[in-house]
Amino acid sequence: MSGTSDGPAPATDLVRPALTESHAPTPPRAGNPPHEERAPHLESLVEPPVDLAAGFPAELAAGLPALLAPDVPATLFPLSSGTRGVPVNGAAAPNGDTVPNGDTVPNGSAPVDGSTSVNGSAASPGSAGVHGDTSGTDDAPGAEGPAGAGTRTFRAIFAAAPLAMAVVDREGRVVTANDTMAALLGTEPAALTGRPAADLLDLGSDARTWHAYREVLRGRQARLRCTRRLKHPEGHSLWAQVTVGPLPEEERAVLLSVSDISARRELQARLRHLQMHDPVTRLPNRTLFFERLSAALEAEANAESGTGRIGLCYLDLDGFKAVNDTLGHRVGDRLLAAVAERLRRCANEAGFGRTVTPLVARLGGDEFAVLVEESTGTEQLAELAESVLEALQAPFDLSGQRLSVSASIGVVERRAAGTTATGLMQAADTTLYWAKADGKSRWTLFDPERNAHRITRQALSSTLRPAVERGEFALEYQPLVCMEDGGVSGVEALVRWNHPQFGTLTPNRFIGLAEEDGSIVQLGRWVLATACRQARRWQLDHPDAEPIFVSVNVAVRQVWDSDLVADVAATLAETGLAPHLLQLELTESAVMGSAGRPLQTLQALSDMGVRIAIDDFGTGYSNLAYLSRLPVSVLKLDGSFVRGFQFESAENGAGADARSNPADEVVVEAMIQLAHRLGLTVTAECVETAGQASRLRRIGCDTGQGWLYSRPVTPDRISALLRSACART
């Protein structure tokens, strides 16, 4: 090709194909943005205008303008008189130098614009610098003045500088380059002259960098700094930081410098690997997991192909703390590493034949996660969870110790669109908790309905304490009816929560929450005072009727966390209710086996005259030995026994259907007889039919409670019952 140097062949395959003869830098290809093709390997940063001297040796930066001063001979940067000049534009001179148009210069100096002077210096009217005039100077040793000596010093600095540098004209072609630049690119300095710098350093591979580079060449932007991955002719790749900054305006050129940052990039990669991986299991850690999860959600949500779904198995080892506590953390770490290896094998098997292999990560402690991108449905996640549980069933041999471990797994699978990393992890964590609660060593699939119940439960828990202060609770009363004459002997106070959002809630929706957070003490005091006050009002409003007692449920935490005896005494004194008209109900599991403070509390209450009842008797410990020692007055049979009395037997003439269970009647009759022998009365709960009431009456039950007689009602309805009783008498 005409206009090329006879020197070493240009390294046209250094980073990109050779350009056309015009040497115009190749613009980015349309239709496929370069920055998208090379995004994983390239990063660019266009910086605001700064001082050009920044980033270069101080002595060189101070003399950059002098490198191309008007008094420099046309052969750019000769180190001494008679030395070979650096070629400018590709034409060959007799001594091996080149000139733009092929003219010969006697002393080897190359005119920039093609004209030849007598003493070898180039002259061109108009402008100075690379394309301008140069004043004639004599190359003889004594002919140089102080300016010439300074220029030679700066030329020597440029040539010997350890920083790779090149001067590039406004068209983007290399005017001259130092030896460090040539060595970095694996070629000779002469082979770089005239080459487009954008091709050498891959500056046109993405649109953003290419635009910024052109702006610097045109003088519209002060500086460009970017990072490029270059391919060396010897075959290896290197990372380079490229800086482009303009020279003074009259020079009509820019200075380009390149630093090899491969070692720094390698160190950064190693540090990132250490930062993003768990040292015990060598798995990705929580930080890298969430980074991959966020990227996967974004990619799946915007992908036009693929399933658009994502799955997660959140795993926790069962009983791992016992291993650490008994065998030590060293054995525990070995067990974690062994578990990680089995999880990795399961993930590889699950990813076989698929586009993406599931990612296994250790999130901390004994918690692991398996991320499945482009999942195909819950069946795929279920199979993966099953394979993990099966893989962990085999014992682990660790330094002569044989250990067995199981795991609980929460499984979540859903569409990626509209899903956040936080939301997915919350669902997985909730599902893992369900798996633990359901018995461990199993996997559980996320259930939106169950999760809604959990959210509701949390909302109730957070508003429970303020609800007592706001007066959102109310009491309803269910009659306790004497089985012999059908008269009302007492009522049980049942609390209701009139929630502003969820409506009226029964005790089974919030009593457990109140016991967990301790608000049951405050709520229990309110129930006790309200019930006693209402019982006293009925007594005063209906003096002719037989006084009825009120039964109040007491939680175990009220016995432990408050002075229940003092609370009861204060309430009775305040309301004026007689102690024998108050009955306190405690569950069987709370009473049986009581010792210390609970037993002392029950005894003190009994000594005051308050009646003590065991609620849901027959479903707890049923320790009959304790039953004879406790200050108990009443046994309330659990409704599960009464439901077995659903139908009258055929032999009693009540119908041909004999689906009742004879064993239930035998058990209930035995408990009633035992209670009577101990001086206790018996109340049957959940009496719903006349047949049940008849059979209970026949085997000696004292009191009945259930929908057969009445549902829980408001205080005024109880007043109506009392008026009716007075009228009958």
Which CATH number goes with the domain that contains 481?
3.20.20.450
Q: Last residue of some domain: 411, 446, 481?
A: 446
In degrees and rounded to multiples of 5, residue 396 shows phi and psi of -105, 130
Tell whether 555 and 669 lie within a shared domain.
yes
Least confident segment among 169-173, 627-631, 655-659: 655-659
285 domain-assigned: yes
C-alpha 108/C-alpha 103 separation (Å) is: 11
pTM, 2 dp: 0.59
Q: Give me the long-range contacts of 674-677 (CB less than 8 A, separation at least 24).
A: 674/624, 675/635, 676/700
Question: Would you state the pLDDT for residue 121?
Answer: 35
Tell whether 270 and 184 lie within a shared domain.
yes
C-alpha 585/C-alpha 607 separation (Å) is: 16
Secondary structure (3-state) at 297: helix
Tell whether 515 and 534 lie within a shared domain.
yes
Q: Which tokens in the block code for residue 510? A: 């919030």
C-alpha 717/C-alpha 702 separation (Å) is: 24
Tell whether 223 and 291 lie within a shared domain.
no
- Using an 8 Å Cβ cutoff, are 656 and 647 in contact? no
105 vs 608, more confident: 608
Tell whether 258 and 395 lie within a shared domain.
no
Question: Would you state the pLDDT for residue 706?
Answer: 94
Radius of gyration of the chain (CA): 46
Give the burial string for 5-41 (b: 16+ CB within 10 Å, else e).
bebeebbeebbbebbeeebebbebeeeeebbeeeeee
Tell me how long the chain is.
729
18 domain-assigned: no
Residue whose entry in the numeric block shows the structure tokens 């007598």: 118
Across the range 261-265, mean pLDDT stands at 93
Q: Last residue of some domain: 413, 446, 479?
A: 446
Tell whether 372 and 475 lie within a shared domain.
no
Tell whether 651 and 717 lie within a shared domain.
yes
- Provide the residue type at 134 as one letter: T
- Centroid of chain to Cα 572: 54
Question: Would you state the pLDDT for residue 589?
Answer: 67
Residue whose entry in the numeric block shows the structure tokens 């009994």: 606
Q: Which residues pair with 495 in a beta bridge?
A: 475
pLDDT tens for each residue of 199-232:
999 998 889 999 999 999 988 888 999 999 998 8
Beta strands in 588-638 (DSSP E): 611-617, 634-637
pLDDT tens for each residue of 310-340:
999 999 999 999 999 998 999 999 999 999 9
Which of the four pLDDT bands, split at 50, 70 and 90, describes residue 153?
confident
Q: Which tokens in the block code for residue 22? A: 């015009």
Tell whether 211 and 288 lie within a shared domain.
no
702 domain-assigned: yes
pLDDT tens for each residue of 16-70:
333 333 334 444 443 334 333 333 333 333 334 334 444 444 444 444 444 444 3
305 domain-assigned: yes
Question: Would you state the pLDDT for residue 116?
Answer: 33
243 domain-assigned: yes
- Provide the residue type at 206 as one letter: D
Which of the four pLDDT bands, split at 50, 70 and 90, describes residue 377?
very high
- Residue 669: which domain range? 461-722
The total number of structural domains in the chain stands at 4
Residue 176 has pLDDT above 80, yes or no: yes
Across the range 272-287, mean pLDDT stands at 95
Which CATH number goes with the domain that contains 340?
3.30.70.270
266 vs 26, more confident: 266
| CA distances from residue 547 to 118, 449, 488, 636 in whole angstroms, order as listed | 137, 47, 10, 21
Tell whether 180 and 152 lie within a shared domain.
no
Which CATH number goes with the domain that contains 196?
3.30.450.20
Q: CA torsion, points 144, 150, 154, 156, in degrees to nearest 10?
A: 50
89 vs 159, more confident: 159
Tell whether 421 and 570 lie within a shared domain.
no
Question: Would you state the pLDDT for residue 650?
Answer: 42
Q: Name, of 16-30, 509-523, 647-661, the range with top average pLDDT.
A: 509-523
DSSP assignments along 697-711, one per residue: HHTT--EE-STTT--
pLDDT tens for each residue of 121-150:
333 333 333 333 333 334 444 445 555 677
Which of the four pLDDT bands, split at 50, 70 and 90, describes residue 536?
very high
Tell whether 677 and 583 lie within a shared domain.
yes
Tell whether 416 and 515 lie within a shared domain.
no
C-alpha 419/C-alpha 638 separation (Å) is: 46
- Provide the residue type at 495 as one letter: V
What lies within 8 Å, CB to CB, of 308 at 6+ separation is 300, 301, 374, 415, 416, 417
Residue 79 has pLDDT above 60, yes or no: no
Across the range 580-584, mean pLDDT stands at 96
Question: Would you state the pLDDT for residue 729?
Answer: 64
22 domain-assigned: no
629 domain-assigned: yes
In degrees and rounded to multiples of 5, residue 611 shows phi and psi of -85, 140
Q: Last residue of some domain: 276, 297, 312?
A: 276
666 vs 725, more confident: 666
Helix, strand, coil share of the chain (percent; to 5)? 40, 20, 40
10 domain-assigned: no
